[in-house]
Amino acid sequence: MKIKVSQLDRLLFLLSEKTKESLDRAGLRNMASQIGGISEDYLYKKLFYVIRGMNKEHSLSLRDAQLNSVARFIGFKNIRDFISASLAPADEQLRSLVGNYLAFVRQNSAQGLIFQSPVEIKESEGQFVMSLKGPSWTYQGILKIKHGCLFIHLETPENKSFYHVYKIGTSRSPKVIQGIFSGVSTAFDPIGGRAVLLKVNEHAGSLKNQAMHIRELSKSTVLEHKKLAAYFKDYAKNNLSINKIISFGMEDLEDS
C-alpha cells in the first residue's frame, strides 16, 4: 500500500510514546520485541532509516501486514484505520495533553484527606482518552473541549462514573489544570468538588494511589505538596454534598 512519510513519522512517534522507548536503534529493537512478529530490521531499515530527511509528502509502497501489526499495537484496528484518523484534522490542543498526571481531590469529609490518583491521557483510534486509576476501579472517558473547558465523562465497566470539567482556555501542555468533579459517593449520595491535575514525567506504572493528610502536606519541603495543602485546606471551598434525604419534601432542605 501507499503511505506518506508524514504518516510513517507519526506512526513511529506514537509507537515511541506507547513503549516509552527512544527512536534509535536500541529503542526500535525494544519496540519490535514488545509488538511481536516484527523485526528490529523492519522498524529500523524499512521505516526509520528510510524516511530520515525525506520529504514529508513523499509516499512509499509498503506491505500491509507489518504495518497492521504496528497500528494495532498503538490502538488502531489496522493501518488503513490509522491513515483515516491521520487525514482528519486532529485537535492539537488535545494532543498537547497526552501524558501522565496525578489527580488530586479532597475527601468529602472534615478529616482533611487528599486523595491522589494516577491519570494517563493518550491518543487511541483518533480520539483522546483519559484513564484514572482508583483504588478499586479504573475509569476511562473521551476528552472533549468546548468553550475553553475540557469535559470528560469517566466510567468503569461496572457502570460507576464521574464527570470532570477542567479550565484550559487555549493553553498547550499545561502543567497544572484546575477543575470540578461530580459523581456519587460509596453511599450513593451526589457529591462534587474541586480537582487538580498535575502533569508528571514519571512512567504511568510508577504512579500510585495515595491518601495524604493536609496537615502533613503543609509541612512538606516539596513545593507542590505545600501548594496542594493550601489549595485544599478549606472544606467549604472544596467539597459539595446534599442534605440527608428523608421524605423528598421541603423539610429535607432544612439545616439539620
For the stretch 129-154, pLDDT in tens is 999 999 889 999 999 998 889 999 99
pLDDT at 159 > cutoff 90? no
The pLDDT, as a whole number, for residue 128 is 93
pLDDT of residue 23 exceeding 60, the answer is yes
pLDDT at 64: 87
pLDDT score of 206 more than 80: yes
What is the pLDDT at residue 239?
A: 92
Per-residue pLDDT band at 90 (split at 50, 70, 90) = low
Higher pLDDT, 13 or 186: 13
Mean pLDDT, residues 24-41 taken together: 90
Whether the Cβ atoms of residue 71 and residue 37 lie closer than 8 Å to each other? no
Mean pLDDT of 55-61: 87
pLDDT at 88 over 80: no
Average pLDDT over residues 54-75: 88
Confidence label for 89 from pLDDT (cuts 50, 70 and 90) = low
pLDDT band at 180 (very low <50, low <70, confident <90, very high): very high
The three-state (H, E, C) secondary structure of the chain, written as one string: CEEEHHHHHHHHHHHHHHHCCCCCHHHHHHHHHHHCCCCHHHHHHHHHHHHCCCCCCCEEECCHHHHHHHHHHCCCCCHHHHHHHHHCCCCHHHHCCCEEEEEEEECCCCCCEEEEEEEEEEEECCEEEEEEECCCCEEEEEEEEECCEEEEEEECCCCCEEEEEEECCCCCCCCEEEEEEEEECCCCCEEEEEEEEEEECCCHHHCCCEEEEHHHHCCCCCHHHHHHHHHCCCHHHHEEECCCCCCCCHHHHCCC
Is the pLDDT assigned to residue 228 strictly greater than 90? yes
